[in-house]
Amino acid sequence: MLFEQDFINRVIVQLAKYNRVTKNSNLIRCMTQMVQEEKTHHKIFLDLNKLCLPEIYCHREKYFMQLNRWDSFFFNLSTSFPAYLTFLVWFIMIFEEYSIALSRSMIETEATESLGKLENNFIKAHIRHIKDETRHIHINVNLITECFTKDSKFNRKVNAFFLKTFFKDIIVPKRGGIAVFRHFIKEFPELEPQKQAMLKSLEALKNDDRFQKSLFNRELMPYTFELFDANPEFHSLERVLKGYTKSS
C-alpha cells in the first residue's frame, strides 16, 4: 500500500511531465491509467487488511510500515525528481515484477507448508492485483528506455550506483519486517522466551545467499534481468543481488 500509493504514483505522475515522456502520447495514456489502477490496488489491500485486523486498519491505513522523519524526507525528495533519479523507475520495475510472482504463487497454490491453506480473500485480492501489474511491466520497460537508456553515460552510471546502494539497504530485513515479527510475538506470547533467538535469525538473513536469491532472481523477474543484461552499468549487480548470474 505504501509503495503503490506513496511511491509508484508519485514517480509516475512526475515522469508524465518529463519532456522525453510527453512526446509519447500512448505512453502518457497508459501512465494515466496506471495511476488510477494503483489507487484501486491500494483500496484492494486496505479492504483486505481491514478484514484481517479490523481493530487496527479500521482506524489507520498503515501499521507495520512506519517511516521516520528522515525516511519521509528522503522519500518525498527523491520521488519529486524521478527524471533525474531514474533508478527509482528500475526499483518500480523490480518491485512490480516480484509482486506478480508473489500473486501468481498465491493464486496457483491453495496451501503452503508454512501457512497451511490460504484464506480465500487473500487469493481474490491477488487475482485482481495481477491483472493490472502484468501490463504495468511493459509500461516500466518503456519508461526505462525513455528515461534511462537514452540518458547520458555519466547519469546512467550514477543511477546504477544508486540502485546498487539502495539494494544493499532493502535486502536487509528491517522496518516492516521487524514490525511484523514483533506483532507476531504479541499474538503468540508463548513464543516470548524464543524472541531474541528468532530476532537474531531474522537479522541474519542479510548474509543468507538463499534468502536474497529467493527475492531477486531471473526466474521471478525475467524482464528486469533482461534489461540488466542489456545495460552494462548493471553487469556488476551480481555483487549486490546474490541471485544474479550473467547469461551465457
C-alpha dihedral (43, 66, 74, 225), degrees to nearest 10: -60
DSSP 8-class letter at 142: H
Give the whole-angstrom CA distance, residue 145 versus residue 151. Answer: 9
Q: Can you tell me the distance from the alpha carbon of 42 to that of 44, in angstroms, rounded to the nearest whole number?
A: 6
Per DSSP, the three-state class of 233 is helix
Residues 6+ apart with CB under 8 A from 3: 95
The residues near 168 (Cβ < 8 Å, ≥ 6 apart) are: 240
CA–CA distances in Å: residue 226 to residues 131, 135, 229, 231, 245: 22, 17, 5, 9, 11
Residue 199 CB partners (closer than 8 Å, separation 6+): 178, 181
Please, which contacts does 200-205 make with residues 24 or more away whose CB atoms are closer than 8 Å?
202/173, 202/177, 202/178, 203/172, 203/173, 203/174, 205/172, 205/173
pLDDT at 192: 93
List the end-to-end C-alpha distance of the chain, in Å, as a whole number: 38
pTM equals 0.84
| Spans of all domains in the chain | 2-152
The pLDDT of residue 5 is: 79
- Looking at residue 241, its pLDDT comes to 56
> How many C-beta neighbours within 10 Å does residue 159 have?
21
- For the chain, helix (H) and strand (E) counts, in that order, are 12, 2
Check: CB of residue 76 under 8 Å from CB of residue 203.
no
How far apart, in whole angstroms, are the C-alpha atoms of residue 233 and residue 227? Answer: 11
Please give the grid coordinates belonging to residue 103: 500473486
**14-25: buried (b, 16+ CB within 10 Å) or exposed (e) per residue?**
bbbebeebeeee
The three-state secondary structure class of 208 is coil
Spell out the per-residue pLDDT of the chain, length 248, in tens.
888 878 888 899 999 998 889 989 999 999 999 999 999 999 999 999 999 999 999 888 888 887 777 777 777 887 888 888 999 999 899 989 989 998 998 888 878 887 788 889 999 999 999 988 888 999 999 999 989 988 999 999 999 998 888 777 777 777 788 888 999 999 999 999 999 999 989 888 878 878 877 888 888 889 999 999 999 998 877 555 554 444 43
* Residue-level pLDDT at 246: 43
What SS3 class is residue 117? strand
